[in-house]
């Protein structure tokens, strides 16, 4: 852990006990610094719209003024086209892992038993939060009329229950064999066959054609497998309608999650196959919330989840050190009406006007 006290006097920045604090006029922020495994980790826990007001920063020291046009990569405006259709968030090595298990999705006593059991928590979690947004709903089909995207749907374990609740669901997965399994299983139910559509593709492949289409996007046990989490979240934002919901369940990045989620669950007990998870890809609730908020998604709920391997049941918990669920809502379009370039141009013109005024004053003083 990196600790200490140092000063960057020429920028007016100082650090005390792992926090960098910058204060100049009305601009205040702090960075958390953690030194671990030969890497410095910086966290900026502020709202993107607050930070954006100060993209142009003045630092004054030793009678000098610096103007810094600061465009931080991780705090972009969410309406900007940020994804690349030529890239992918899919990890090819993980595709091979799930390819080998494609035929086992509907074995409730097999390797996917924890996901079958997780439906007892995640289905009501999704349903109840979505029902908060509607005044009336049909008995027996509470999600009728809603369009939902299930990202990384696998064999359709979560897609089908959402379809039974009345929603129109599109399930996507990069493993074609998973989609074949899901298609085959839903064909046994004529009602689901009409409500559910499956596609073998990655999320970024359908962003353009489905922009602002869905009332909800589900990424359950998915974000710990993607190669680029921020790009993934940006794609989720783009396919959501304004005011729509994003639901995520995933695994926290803690020592406990490594001990139980990797060592015990995979290597000792065999609850999940070896190599299913990579601890480095796990994400903490704080980091996930920071990414969500910086991309126009307001976090509503974060709740811990605990799996009992002996009873094979999931329970809600106040502790998020292992698994957790998150619900975020896409900010309304009215909050993002002013293009970033216009704001930057206005602020630049204002600074130039101020500089011209100061120059005029200096000339008057000389006279």
The pLDDT-based confidence of 57 (bands split at 50, 70, 90) is very low
CA gap 7, 170 in Å, rounded: 53
Q: What is the pLDDT of residue 260?
A: 92
* Terminal CA-CA length for the chain: 58
Which of 66-80, 123-137, 206-220, 266-280 bottoms out in mean pLDDT, i.e. has the lowest? 66-80
Q: Is 36 annotated as a binding residue?
A: no
Q: What is the pLDDT of residue 352?
A: 62
pLDDT beyond 50 at 32: no
Q: Is 220 annotated as a binding residue?
A: yes
- Mean local confidence (pLDDT), 270-284: 89
- Mean local confidence (pLDDT), 324-333: 90
Percent of the chain predicted with pLDDT > 70: 67
- Mean local confidence (pLDDT), 332-339: 47
Q: Which of 288, 316, 286 is nearest to 303 (CA)?
A: 316
Entry pTM: 0.68
- Mean local confidence (pLDDT), 141-163: 97
CA gap 170, 210 in Å, rounded: 11
- Mean local confidence (pLDDT), 228-238: 96
Question: Which span out of 61-65, 75-79, 314-318, 337-341 was modeled with the highest average pLDDT?
Answer: 314-318
Q: Which of 115, 150, 122 is nearest to 265 (CA)?
A: 115
CA gap 146, 129 in Å, rounded: 13
CB 31, CB 51: distance < 8 Å: no
- Mean local confidence (pLDDT), 211-220: 97
Task: Please report, for residues 122, 183, 196, 258, the alpha-carbon distance to residue 192 in angstroms, rounded to integers and kept in the order given.
Answer: 19, 10, 6, 38
Q: Is 173 annotated as a binding residue?
A: yes
Q: Is 221 annotated as a binding residue?
A: yes
Tokens of 278: 């990579």
- Mean local confidence (pLDDT), 228-251: 97
Angle (CA) 181 183 186, round 5°? 105
The 10s digit of each residue's pLDDT in 58-94 is 333 333 333 333 333 333 434 344 444 446 888 777 7
Q: What is the pLDDT of residue 15?
A: 42
Q: Is 224 annotated as a binding residue?
A: yes
pLDDT beyond 90 at 168: yes
The 10s digit of each residue's pLDDT in 100-144 is 889 999 999 999 999 999 999 999 999 999 999 887 888 889 999
Q: Is 4 annotated as a binding residue?
A: no
Q: Is 225 annotated as a binding residue?
A: yes
Q: What is the pLDDT of residue 138?
A: 83
- Mean local confidence (pLDDT), 140-150: 95
Q: What is the pLDDT of residue 332?
A: 74
């Amino acid at each position: 852990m990196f600790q200490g006290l140092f000063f960057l006097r020429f920028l007016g920045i100082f650090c005390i006990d792992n926090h960098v604090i910058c204060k100049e006029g009305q601009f205040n922020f702090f960075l958390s610094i953690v030194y671990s495994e030969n890497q410095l980790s910086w966290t900026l826990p502020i709202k993107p719209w607050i930070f954006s007001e100060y993209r142009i920063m003045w630092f004054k020291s030793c009678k000098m003024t610096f103007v810094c046009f600061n465009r931080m990569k991780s705090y972009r405006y969410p309406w900007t086209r940020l994804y690349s259709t030529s890239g992918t968030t899919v990890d090819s090595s993980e595709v091979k892992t799930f390819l080998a298990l494609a035929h086992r999705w509907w074995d409730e006593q097999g390797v996917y038993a924890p996901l079958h059991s997780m439906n007892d928590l995640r289905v009501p979690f999704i349903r109840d939060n979505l029902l908060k947004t509607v005044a009336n709903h049909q008995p027996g089909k509470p999600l009728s009329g809603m369009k939902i995207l299930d990202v990384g749907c696998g064999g359709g374990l979560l897609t089908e229950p959402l379809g039974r609740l009345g929603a129109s669901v599109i399930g996507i997965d990069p493993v074609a064999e998973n989609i074949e399994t899901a298609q085959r299983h839903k064909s046994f139910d004529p009602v689901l066959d009409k409500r559910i559509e499956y596609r073998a593709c990655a999320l970024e492949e359908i962003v353009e054609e489905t922009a602002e289409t869905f009332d909800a996007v589900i990424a359950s046990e998915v974000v710990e497998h993607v190669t680029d989490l921020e790009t993934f979240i940006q794609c989720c934002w783009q396919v959501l309608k304004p005011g729509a919901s994003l639901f995520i369940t995933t695994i926290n990045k803690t020592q406990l999650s490594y001990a139980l989620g990797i060592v015990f669950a995979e290597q000792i007990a065999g609850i999940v196959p070896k190599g299913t998870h990579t601890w480095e890809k796990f994400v903490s609730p704080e980091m996930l919330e920071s990414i969500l908020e910086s991309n126009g998604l307001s976090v509503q709920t974060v709740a811990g989840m605990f799996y009992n391997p002996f009873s094979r049941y999931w329970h809600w918990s106040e502790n998020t050190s292992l698994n957790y669920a998150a619900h975020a809502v896409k900010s309304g379009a009215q909050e993002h009406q002013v293009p970033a370039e216009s704001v930057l141009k206005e602020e630049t013109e204002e600074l130039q006007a101020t500089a011209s005024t100061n120059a005029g004053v200096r000339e008057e003083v000389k006279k």
